[in-house]
Structures are given as structure tokens and as C-alpha cells.
Amino acid sequence: MKHIVLIFSCVFLIQCTSTMTKPTMEAIDSEFNQKSEYNFQYFEISNYEKIPVDSLISDLNSYADQMINTSSKEEELTLFFYRKKLLGSNYKDKIYDAAKENEFGGIEGHEKDLVAKVWFTSNHESEVRKVFIYEENELKKMTEFKK
């Protein structure tokens, strides 16, 4: 009986700590993201599945702050966050074509892998940022931030 209680306690503890983790985000191609000729940046995201949507939006917004501050303060910039695949992906091979040929910047053939998108626009007077959360190619939630 003690073993069963111990096992359930461990499972409960693991479940609780896994919901409190932060997502991991990394550039698909850092060099590409730094080029000023494109208004798109591409990232892979993992460890987001059990994070509440509002917390994920907050994490993405904070991450976008760092990325936008390190970029050249474009007037418009879109950050795409694609699901990191266990066995790797071929996103890197497709982002150049996506940026050049797709006016919205999405990677063709990977629509269901899009987890989130952060769209940013600014002028001298204001700044608007929208965070979109997707699930299976469907918009789940959108939150707008204004400064």
C-alpha cells in the first residue's frame, strides 16, 4: 500500500512540476533571423503543451521583447513558432522560400506544426503586438498588446 501511495505521489509531483515549466524557444536559423531584408523570424518551440494558454502568451510576449529589441526595430515583424519535432525537422530548408514567396511568411506544408505567431508593428507614436496561438492549424486565441 505504501508503494502505491508513493508512486501516485511521484506521478502527481511530476505532473505538477511539468505544468509549471517554461517553453523552450530557439531560432531555426539565427543568421536568417538577423537579416534585415525579411520581416519574418522563425523559431522552434518545445515544452509548451501543458502550459496554460495565457501563460504561454505571456512567455511568448516576453521572448518577443528580446527578439524585437535585438532586431533593428522593424516597422513590421512577424515571429513564427513551430513545434520542435523529436526526430528533427526540415524547417531550415524551407524558411527562405517561405519568406520570399509567401507574403504571410508561413512555411508551406507545416501549417499544423505552427504553434504561435507574434506580429509586431510600430511607428513613431505607438506599438502594437498581437500574439496568436494555434492548435492543429486553427486559431485558438489571440491577444493584443499596445504601447
**Which 8-state DSSP code applies to residue 8?**
H
Collapse the DSSP code of 133 into the 3-class scheme (helix H, G, I; strand E, B; otherwise coil) and give the result: strand
The pLDDT score that the predictor gives to residue 127 is 85
What per-residue confidence (pLDDT) applies to 20?
55
Q: What is the pTM of this model?
A: 0.81
**How much is the pLDDT for 76?**
87
Whole-number average pLDDT of the chain: 83
CA dist., res. 118 & res. 102, Å (int): 17
Starting at the edge strand that comes first in sequence, how are the strands of the sheet with 127-135 ordered? 24-27, 40-46, 76-83, 114-122, 127-135, 138-146
Residue 115 DSSP code: E
Residue 75 corresponds to which cell in the numbers above? Answer: 516597422
pLDDT at 13: 46
8-64 residue pLDDT tens: 454 444 554 444 588 999 999 999 988 767 789 999 999 999 999 999 999 999 998
